Structure formats: structure tokens, C-alpha cells
Amino acid sequence: MKGPGWRTWDKADVVDGPGEPMIPLDEARVYVFEHVSPLAAREVAPAEAVGCVTAAAVTSAATIPPFDNTAMDGFALRAVDTAGANEQPVSLVIVGTVAAGPGNLPTVGEGEAVRIMTGAPIPPGADAVVMVERTAAEGHLVEVQAEVEAGNHIRRSGEDVQPGDVVIDAGILVTPAHLGVLLSVGCASLPVVPRPRVAVMSTGDELVADGSPLRPGQIVDSNRPTLLALVEAAGFTAVDGGLVADDEQAIDAALRSAVAECDAVVTTGGVSMGDFDYVKVVLDRIGDMRWMQVAIKPAKPLAFGTVDGTPVFGLPGNPVSSMVSFELFARPALRRMMGHPEPDARMVDAVADEPLRRRPDGKTHFARVAASVDDDGVLHVRSAGGQGSHQLSAMAGANALAVLTEVDGVEPGDVVRLLLLGELPAHHPT
């Protein structure tokens, strides 16, 4: 259950000042993951299954291809009639044309050929196809310029899938390529673990979400739209829980509604040790919550628990911290809920092109970095900018988090572990 590729600090190391004991990252992640389970499977149509994980193996009831057909435009004929055509072209009589689709098939006899289009069924009597580029047709005659063997350019019935074959195993993320197979074998429905419906809500009288001018003390509600976008990009179903005023009854109603309608709930802010927030008051009353200080930077504060069995993630209020916390805790937990075979984000090694500094504070640091691949296929990394938990510009420019567990960080040329966030550029910037 431990996160792949990073070493967290021992409990003896994790102190951060009086009154703020911290717990190792692995311990926090294990606690979260132990309290989430895959959702109940349900039958869905193949198109709806794309992006979901199969709950059982899917077998074929059909034969694919259903009939012998040609892989090329050309002429269907008897292979024996092409003997010697490499040295001296052979002239055959064209007795018909076969296109893809239903229709009557002419029989091919000795010295005869049938013009045929890609995907069309092989006519009776023919046992090979010569591609059109190796022929020259004029009128009712075709000159065959290549000798072929029986079976040339013929796709045999059932060579791809036979009845009873497993076309998708259990625990597989269904892709568009799988959709083609499912439709080809006539699958009407299949069992999948559905995408979790995830409610994202924010609270606070200081937040503004309607675009109106900010008054002193007000800030834009940016975390909620950002987290909603992260939820959707991760393959889950995002449900906007709205901006709720600092009112205990309103927060109680909003949380209960979100828990009843969704598979998980995400909130931001009000999870630090010194915070007094109605979200904390309500969650402590209606749920089984754990309020944690995790030995990481950023995103130290984390709340996690359940309300009526529904997981609730309380993420930090700082914009960067909320996104990092989502990547470390919410995303892998939600992927576990959707039955994903690899719940954690992808981790890789990269070469640092510049120093990535940190101070010894007993925490695992996650530096926002820009990673790219050079012409030799080597992954390189450099800082994406300012590392403050409020500095969104660096987070926007980052496609990975560098895992800094060393006391002083890494030096140029050192290998550093990365947690990938997005797509890598094709080439290393000069």
C-alpha cells in the first residue's frame, strides 16, 4: 500500500514545532487507502464502458472475421494458375467483381479471376489474391505478373477471435480500441466498476465565485473550479457542490446532500491545526474524521474520513497545496474506488539540470518542476518557478513533482524521482 518510489521520514524525524506532531506520508496514504473500496460493478453499454475498469472478463460469442476476406484490392484466383508468372506474366479471364458487402459471389474456375475489393469475401474456387499493383487489366483479361501461394492476402475466418475467446480480461481499463473489439463481437453490455461521482465544494464568506469586483478581504474561489477540472481530467465524474456560506446549517445541508448523491466528497480549506471552520465542526459531528498533519511540503494539513460510508477528503486551502494533496491522496484513492489496477500516478526517474534545493525539516518536499525528454530519450527536469504554496504560476508550468527526500535536495546531474502530472514535451528545451 505504500506509495511507489519515495522514502518518507521516520516517526522520530517528523517534528515541526511545538504542538504540531506530524505523521509520515506513507502512514497517511495507507490510512486513506484502507478506507476506500471499489464501487459495486454494473452492466453498461460498450460506449459507456470506455474509461471504466472491467469487473469481469468479457468473452466473445462471435467469430472474427466472420468469413474469409481479402486484405487487398486485387484479383481473387487460383494460386496454381499463377505458376511461372514471375518470369512470364499469366493471362486470366475476368469473370466478375466482388465488392465489400452482401451480394452474389461468382465461382472462380481454371484460368479465371475475379476483381475484388479490400474486405470483400473470397469467392468460391479462389484460394489466393494478387494485389492490383502486380496486375494489368484490359477488357475481360487480366495479366498477372507475380506467382503467389495459396492463402496470399486472405484473412481467414476466426483468425482474430474465436467464440469463447477472452477479448478483455477483468481489471482492464477500457480504451477506444477495446470498444472496437466489443462491438465487433456483438457485446451488448459488460460489467464495469463505474467512475466515482465526486462532489467538490468550497466554503467561506471571503470567497467570490460570480466574477464581481473583490472587496477588501475577499479572494476568488479558484480552488473549486481547479479541483473540478482535476477530477474530470483524472477520469472521474465531477459534481459541483457549489460555494457555501459560512453558516453551520448551510454547510451541514450541503455536505449531507453531497454524501447522499455522490461516491466521494472533496472540500478545501479549514483543515489546519489552528483553523476554526464550520466544515470541521460539521464533519466532526456527522462523520468519522481524522485530522492529520502530514510530513510533506506543501500540503501538510489533510482531513480524511467517511460520512455514512462515503469518503470525504478535506484538502488544504492554499491553491498549490490543494492540488498537490489531490495528487497524493485523492486521485489514487478515487482510482482505487473505480477498480483501477494501478491506482497511483506514474513515477519515473529524471536527471536534474539545475539544483533543486530544500532545507532539512523532517518533511518530504514535492517541488514543482518541468520535465522533458531529450533527443536521446533521457528525461530531464528543472524547476518550474517559485515554490510557495500560493504560487500558482509555477504549478501551472509544472508537469511533474520532484520528490525531494534528501536533506539538501539534489545537484545538477543527480537522478531525482518524479511523480508525473501531465504529458511530457517531445524534446528537451535548449
Q: What is the pLDDT of residue 205?
A: 86
One of 3.40.630.10, 3.40.50.300, 3.20.20.80, 2.170.190.11 is the CATH number of 69-155, namely: 2.170.190.11
For the structural domain made of 347-420, what CATH number should be given?
2.40.340.10
Distances (CA, A) of 289 to 92, 178, 276, 326, 418: 82, 40, 15, 17, 30
In degrees and rounded to multiples of 5, residue 408 shows phi and psi of -110, 10
Position 21 pLDDT exceeds 90: no
Q: Which CATH architecture has domain 11-39+194-337?
A: 3-Layer(aba) Sandwich (3.40)
Strand ranges inside 245-287, DSSP E:
264-268
CA 335 – CA 338 distance, rounded (Å): 5
Q: What is the mean pLDDT of residues 12-33?
A: 76
Would you kindly state where each structural domain of the chain is located, as residue ranges? Answer: 11-39+194-337, 42-64+159-193, 69-155, 347-420
Position 17 pLDDT exceeds 60: no
Position 428 pLDDT exceeds 70: no
Provide the grid cell at 130: 494478387
Q: Which of 93-107, 356-370, 383-397 is predicted least confidently?
A: 383-397
pLDDT grade, residue 103 (50/70/90)? confident
Position 283 pLDDT exceeds 50: yes
One of 3.30.300.30, 3.10.450.50, 3.30.70.100, 3.90.105.10 is the CATH number of 42-64+159-193, namely: 3.90.105.10
Q: What is the mean pLDDT of residues 321-325?
A: 95
At a CB cut-off of 8 Å and minimum separation 6, what does 143 contact?
89, 90, 91, 135, 136, 137
Report yes or no on whether pTM surpasses 0.85: no
Pairing of strands 197-203, 264-268: parallel
- Residue 158 gets the label, from left (phi > 0), alpha (psi -120 to 50) or beta, of left
- Residue 213 gets the label, from left (phi > 0), alpha (psi -120 to 50) or beta, of beta
Count of residues making up the chain: 430
